[in-house]
């Protein structure tokens, strides 16, 4: 998410002009299934399409493949593989990584175990 103040300063426009531009951008993005998401004083472009769980998991996994693992994600995976993962002792970034893996269907929700699908792919 990008702060609105950074956008209107970079674009050399007023906050009202930025809002108008974001409204136009949201309309232009709609045919592609995207929208401008506004939260507090921040803005991002996100999918406006509700997807089923399998599609959402695939999107999260594909994003990880494109950008590679972050240090926190690698840390959580190593702990999960070694059986030393303890949710209470995770830092903020590691906890975010754990939640991402749960959404991606890699680690069981409410558990610290790999999903059967993830176990199978790790053993292949």
pLDDT confidence bin for 62, thresholds 50/70/90? confident
Residue 75 has pLDDT above 70, yes or no: yes
> Scanning the structure block, which residue is given the tokens 């680690």?
107
Alpha-carbon span 10 to 22, nearest angstrom? 14
Give a three-class secondary structure readout of the chain.
Answer: CEEHHHHHHHCCCCHHHHHHHHHHHHHHHHHHCEEEEEECCEEEEEECCCCCHHHHHHHHHHHHHHHCCCHHHHHHHHHHHHCCCCHHHCCHHHHHHHHHHHHCCCECCCCCCECHHHHHHHHC
- Is the pLDDT score of 9 beyond 90? yes
Q: Identify the pLDDT of residue 21.
A: 94
Residue 105 gets the label, from left (phi > 0), alpha (psi -120 to 50) or beta, of: left
| For range 25-32, the mean pLDDT | 85
Give me the pLDDT at residue 118, please.
86
Please check the confidence at residue 94 and state whether its pLDDT lies above 70.
Answer: yes
Measured distance CA(41)–CA(83) in Å, rounded: 40
Whole-angstrom Cα distance, residue 40 to residue 73? 27
Per-residue pLDDT, averaged over 8-36, amounts to 90
Mean pLDDT of 44-63: 75
Structural domain boundaries of the chain? 2-47, 53-123
Confidence band of 23 (pLDDT split at 50, 70, 90): very high
């Amino acid at each position: 998410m990008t702060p609105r103040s950074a956008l209107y300063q970079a674009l050399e426009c007023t906050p009202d002009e930025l809002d108008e531009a974001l409204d136009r951008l949201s309309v232009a993005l709609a045919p592609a299934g995207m929208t401008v998401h506004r939260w507090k004083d921040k803005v991002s472009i996100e999918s406006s399409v509700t997807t089923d769980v399998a599609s959402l998991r695939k999107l999260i996994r594909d994003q990880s493949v494109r950008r590679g693992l972050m240090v926190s994600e690698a840390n959580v995976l190593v702990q999960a593989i070694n059986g030393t993962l303890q949710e209470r002792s995770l830092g903020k970034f590691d906890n975010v990584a754990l939640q991402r893996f749960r959404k991606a269907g890699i680690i069981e929700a409410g558990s610290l175990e790999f999903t059967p699908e993830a176990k199978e792919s790790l053993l292949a």
